[in-house]
Structures are given as C-alpha cells and as structure tokens.
Amino acid sequence: MTTLHTVNKSPFNDGSFDACLGLAKSGSTVLLFEDGVFAATTGTKSAEAIANADGVTFAVLGPDAKARGVEGKIAEGIKVVDYDGFVDLVAEHDKVHAWL
C-alpha cells in the first residue's frame, strides 16, 4: 500500500511534520504545502531530516513556496509540483494521509 502524506503546518510551530516523518514508510511520498513548505528550506533541521529519510519521496507545492518567497530555497532532491502535480500524486498513491 502506497501512501501520500500531506503536511500543511510549519515544522517550527507544530508537531505534524515530525510525527509524519516518524511514521512515513519507505515507498511513501510526503507533500509539503501551505506553511508546510518551510520544512523543505535549506539550512533547517527539517531539511536535514528530509535528506536522511531513506526511501521516502518529498515534494513541495510550488505556488505555496513562491507565495512565501522560498521557492529558491527548497533543498536539493525535493520535487516541486503544481496543483496538477498534487492531483497526480493523489491518483498515484493508494491513499492519502492528511496530517493536521
């Protein structure tokens, strides 16, 4: 079973990013959107955790990163997707786990 995890809260203010990372299994994908995009920015503990999460794919919703001025700060190896890409990810996985 493949799972798409979605996280929309900043990793600095909320435990959902850490909780998601702790439970995301190899082969799953984590999509960061809204304030969740900050987790993917370079020079943060969360970006380091992403780099060390073997077997988990990470993606960021581009329009949310752009709105917040961090589009150019997304760490290497993290995919940037648009709204269509978000829909594709939902369709490609067996289920969605929307972290709140």
How many degrees, rounded to 5, is the angle at CA 67 between CA 64 and CA 73?
Answer: 80
Based on the shown chain and the rule CB under 8 A, indicate whether residue 76 belongs to the binding site for other proteins: no
21, 1, 99, 30: CA torsion to nearest 10: 50
Residue 52: CB minimum distance to other proteins, A = 16
Strand ranges in the chain using DSSP code E only, listed in sequence order: 3-7, 29-32, 57-61, 79-81, 95-99
Q: How far apart are CA 66 and CA 37, in angstroms?
A: 10
Based on the shown chain and the rule CB under 8 A, indicate whether residue 52 belongs to the binding site for other proteins: no
Based on the shown chain and the rule CB under 8 A, indicate whether residue 70 belongs to the binding site for other proteins: yes
Residue 6: CB minimum distance to other proteins, A = 14
**Which of 18, 63, 81, 97 touches other proteins (CB under 8 A)?**
63
Residue 34: CB minimum distance to other proteins, A = 5
Binding footprint of other proteins on the chain (CB under 8 A) = 8-10, 12-13, 34-35, 38, 41-45, 47, 62-64, 66-73, 82
